[in-house]
Each structure stands twice: as C-alpha cells, then as structure tokens.
Amino acid sequence: MMGRFAGSLIVSVLFLQGATAAPAAAPVSYGVEADTFHPVKEQNGMVASVDALATQVGVDILKQGGNAVDAAVAVGYALAVTHPQAGNLGGGGFMLLRTASGHTTAIDFREMAPTRASRDMFLDAQGNADSKKSLTSHLASGVPGTVAGLALANKEYGTLPLSRLIAPAITLASKGIVVDEALADDLNVYGKEVLIDHPNSKAIFYRPDGNPWKRGETLVQRDLAHSLTLIAKQGPEAFYKGKIADQIASEMAAHGGLIGKADLANYRAIERKPISGTYRGYEVYSMPPPSSGGIHIVQILNILENFDLAKMGFGSADAMQVMAEAEKYAYADRSEYLGDPDFVKVPWQALTSKDYAKSLAQKIDISKARPSSEIKPGKLAPYESNQTTHFSVVDKQGNAVAVTYTLNTYFGSGIVAGSSGILMNNEMDDFSAKPGTPNVYGLVGGEANAVQPYKRPLSSMSPTIIAKGGKTWLVTGSPGGSRIITTVLQMVVNSIDFGMNVAEATNAPRFHHQWLPDQLRVEKGFSPDTLKLLEARGQHVKVMPTMGSTQSIMIGPDGMLYGASDPRAIDDLTAGY
Ligand code: DON
C-alpha cells in the first residue's frame, strides 16, 4: 500500500499534499464566433430534446405562458408519441427541477417491482440469470411511473391544467407523425427484434406489408391517442385505476406477467431531496437513489477536485487516466452500496464526502492503471443496447427542469398492453438478477439491488443541474445506461475545467470506465498518441460506438440561454424563443 502511494508521488497528485491552492475552474465560455461549435441562443425560454416535434411542443407551451415544468410535462407526453424508442407512458424516470428562487427538488417516478416479484424470478432452472425473462417477457416490466410523475410535477410546480399539456400529444398520436430518419432506423433495426413477436405491437409499429419504414412516412397511433384522451379527461386515475389499468392488468394476467390492478393502484411518484455537492466553487444537484447517478457524479467530481484537470488539458492522457481511475472506484462502490433507499440504507453521506474522495484520489496512480480485478472481481457485459431519453427546459423566469425517462432498452419489452397502445418497459433488468451477473449494461450488483416486491430497480439516470453563486447555470442529462453517469460527468468537466461552451462540451468525444469490464471505452476522435499513452499506463482501451445523447441548456449571467442537442442523435433539436 505504501509502495503504491509512494509511486503516485512521482506524478502530479500535488494537491493532496495541501501545499498548493486547489486547482481552479477554467473561465466560463458561452461561445464566441471563432469557436468550432455554437450553441443555440435564445432569450425567453428553451427546450432541448431528442425529437424536433417534441421540442416544438415544449416551446409552444412556453410561448403560451406555461412555465418550465408545464413545458417539460408536455414534452414528456409528446415524446411518448414521437419517440416510442424511449418516450413513454409505460416506463418511468426522474425529474430534477430548480425553481427561479433556488428551490431544488427531485421527483422519482421510477418503475416499481410488482407485489408478486421475487428475488430469483429471473433465474433459469440451472440458477443462471435469464436475460430473456428480464428484457423481453411480460415479467420484464415494473409498474410504470411516468403518468404519476408528470402529474405530481404538474400539481406541485406547474401552472397549466394537465389536459392542456396532453393535448398536443393526442393530436400527434391521432393525426400521425412523420417518421424521421432516427425513428425509421430504430423501428427497422431494433423494433423488428422486439416488436414483431407481439401482435398488439406488430399491428402498430410494423408495416402491414412487412417492408421497412422509410423516412417521411406517417405513423398513426390511434389506441395511444385514446389512452392519452382518457388521461387528459380523468387524470392519472385513468392509468392507475381505470380503463388503462384494466388493459395492463389483463395483458399481464394473460401472458404470465405479474403486474396486477393493486400494483397499479398502489404506485406513487415520490418527491425526494436531490443529492448535492460542490465542484470548484460550483453547486452540483443531481438525482438521489434509486438512481446511482447523483451520488457517483458527486463522488467522481470530489475525486477530480484533487487534480488540476484544466492544466492537464482536454483529451490528454493525464486527464483521461485520472478520470478513468476515479470512475472505477465509483462504479465498484455502486455495485455494493446502491439500491432503493426505501429498502436499503444507502451510505450517501460517506460516498459523497470530500474526505472519502481524497482517500480514493490518493490511490490513483497517474502513471499506472490499477487493474479492476484488484478493486473487485466481475464478468464481461453480455451485450449492449441503448435507449432512454433526456430533455431539459428553462423558462423566462429562470425555472429549470431536467428529465430523464425511459422504457430501458429500445421500445422496452416490445409489448404493448392490450389495446392501450402503450409500450411497456423492461426496467426489471436493472435489478441484479443474480449477484455478480452483469445486466444488459454490464453492471453488476448484489443484495442492495436484488428484486423485492415494491422495490425500485437501481438506475444510472442522472438529470443534473449546476448552479454558481446560487444561480442556475447548467441543466443537463443523457441516456446511455451505465454510461449516463460518465457522460453527464464529462458535460460538467468539459464546461468547468476545460472552459468549453455548451455546444463544444456536447460535441467533444467521450470516454467511459465502469470498473467491470476492465475496459476504457472511448469514442473515435481522441488522438491515437493519447490512446497509446493510456495503453502504456495499463488501460485497456477500446474504441466503441458513441455514448450518450445529451440535451443541455446553459444560462449566461445576463439570463441569455445557450443550448445544445447532441450530434450523436439524428433528429434532436434545441429551440426556444
Ligand atoms: O435506469 C437506467 O439506468 C437504465 N434503465 C437506463 C437505460 C438507458 O439509458 C438506455 N439507453 N440509452
């Protein structure tokens, strides 16, 4: 141990010795003409989402005098129609919101395990985790939370009636949407894998002639329009106790699923206190458990505070090494300590303390990667998948909302409940089916995240808001499964340490280490020289597909809004007025 620590003294872990002033943040950038990437700039309100139609719905609500929460609720409903890959009524997620007066709160509308769920429900006869059960069967769904979550947000923090916020979604579902490139591609590739086996889903999302979708064709969702109309008229009761509840419960009963009417009636969205921390003079707010995102973003930032990233520079082997090593420790802790706080005691104060971070920072050797096996043993990810969605909204008054919600993988379980038109999630896969067995994102977990009735599966979704001097500064979040935490982290570090404007911070190539597998996943775009240096330090570098799809808004000192959608998504849009 001493030897290892002595080794790290060779390198630039100077600030741990307390001899030097703490490394500072870089000057903030809102973009200048000479920059490579430029944010969208608006004065009165802004929405950033993965889908242009949904963004437009949100901007319209803002223009009509709705606040950021109203707009976010309307975008949430619109995406359930325009972005069935992840937008949903049959899934769940998290909202982080910060009012203009600085009140910051989190709404947990994560799915919940039904009462008949049990610890070993996803094991096969041999006792091995069966990912088919947890991903594509009727057992894959937790009790959906989105309708309850959006209703809670509307009731506590909105200004317009819910029915008015659902109206645009009803129009989009009943009149039909023009299928854009992203939707056509995803329906043709991922949709085909998961939707075709279920007659209800096939009838809606699969073309009758079996031909692939082409950009520009129209997708009408009549059943969904009907369900939306019921919710608009009767409120969330329609979903949890009324006709839609009947549809979901009978779909489940007919096919071996576990969600019953009592499960739906018992579901509650929960308002929680956000995880907060500080980073180089900024205030950080993010999602508390059952998301792991807030805790580990703050934990990693606390570790990074001990290093001068600005001096190391973006894309340098030093900065990437320090970040990757910090990430490994955080993900190792995630596997052990994180779960639904209503079931397990999550030691969040310890995990987010500056002292603990300092002790981890001292273990980081900038010249030599610590093999993950020395931190904790684990297995490789079976395969990967990608689909969740994030949107950010800021209004004229300065209220800010960040929402990440999902069905889990593309189109969730692929199962539409009866004739509701509602696609069901496969969020049960986020529980650990068996200790040490990786889920679809390669994440391992143990007891804290074992399946239990009424428990919410551990998430990585991290809607995040950064403030400076008490004023909201950056609103961000991303999909990406286990990679959400590191994607959001890089938005923060790129903006604060590397002085990038929000568009540059979004466009910059990303990397990720999640402890297990012991692999430094990088997007293309980093210098091969840097990657060679990292290999030489013991990192197992692998160039892999892009990660994350951030939707972010930065607020300038004069209240000007600067937004950026992710170039990694095809039809996303940031707009305002
Ligand atoms: O809650 C979670 O962490 C996952 N169900 C999120 C899934 C996701 O981000 C999919 N992809 N992009």
SS3 at position 285: strand
How far is the CA of 130 from the CAs of 77, 112, 134, in angstroms?
32, 20, 7
Distance CA 487, CA 510 (A): 7
Distance CA 110, CA 245 (A): 17
What average pLDDT score do residues 142-157 get? 98
pLDDT at 379 over 70: no
pLDDT at 208: 83
Distance CA 270, CA 287 (A): 12
C-alpha of residue 385 to centroid of ligand 1, in Å: 9
Q: Which helix (H) or strand (E) holds 4?
A: helix 2-9
Ligand 1 pocket check for 569: Cβ under 6 Å = no
R_g of the chain, CA atoms, integer Å: 22
Which residue has the CA at smallest separation from atom 2 of ligand 1?
Answer: 459
pLDDT at 403 over 80: yes
SS3 at position 575: strand
Ligand 1 pocket check for 386: Cβ under 6 Å = yes
C-alpha of residue 158 to centroid of ligand 1, in Å: 27
Catalytic residue check, 82: no
Q: Which two tokens stand for residue 64?
A: 């009509």
Active-site annotation holder among 82, 136, 352, 388: 388
Average pLDDT, the chain: 93
C-alpha of residue 532 to centroid of ligand 1, in Å: 31
pLDDT tens-digit series, residues 1-43: 233 333 333 334 434 444 456 788 999 999 999 999 999 999 9
What average pLDDT score do residues 531-545 get? 97
Which residue type sits at 479?
A: P
pLDDT tens-digit series, residues 276-307: 999 999 999 999 999 999 999 999 999 999 99
The ranges of the chain annotated as CATH 1.10.246.130 are 7-30+281-384+460-558
Ligand 1 pocket check for 283: Cβ under 6 Å = no
pLDDT at 63 over 50: yes
pLDDT at 384 over 60: no
What is the CB neighbour count within 10 angstroms for residue 1?
A: 6
- Nearest alpha-carbon partner for 299 in 486, 467, 439, 457: 486
pLDDT at 515: 95
pLDDT tens-digit series, residues 327-368: 999 999 999 899 999 999 889 999 999 999 999 999 999 999
Lowest-confidence segment of 1-5, 270-274, 459-463, 513-517 by average pLDDT: 1-5
Q: How confident is the model at residue 509 (pLDDT cuts 50, 70, 90)?
A: very high
SS3 at position 115: coil
Which CATH topology does 7-30+281-384+460-558 take? Serum Albumin; Chain A, Domain 1 (1.10.246)
SS3 at position 130: coil
pLDDT at 83 over 50: yes
pLDDT at 209 over 80: yes
SS3 readout for 404-426:
EEECCCCCCCCCECCCCCCECCC
Q: In the structure, how many helices (H) and strands (E) does the chain have?
A: 22, 19
Buried b (16+ CB within 10 A) or exposed e, 474-488: bbbbbbbbbbbbbbb
pLDDT tens-digit series, residues 299-332: 999 999 999 999 999 999 999 999 999 999 999 9
Which residue has the CA at smallest separation from atom 10 of ligand 1?
Answer: 387
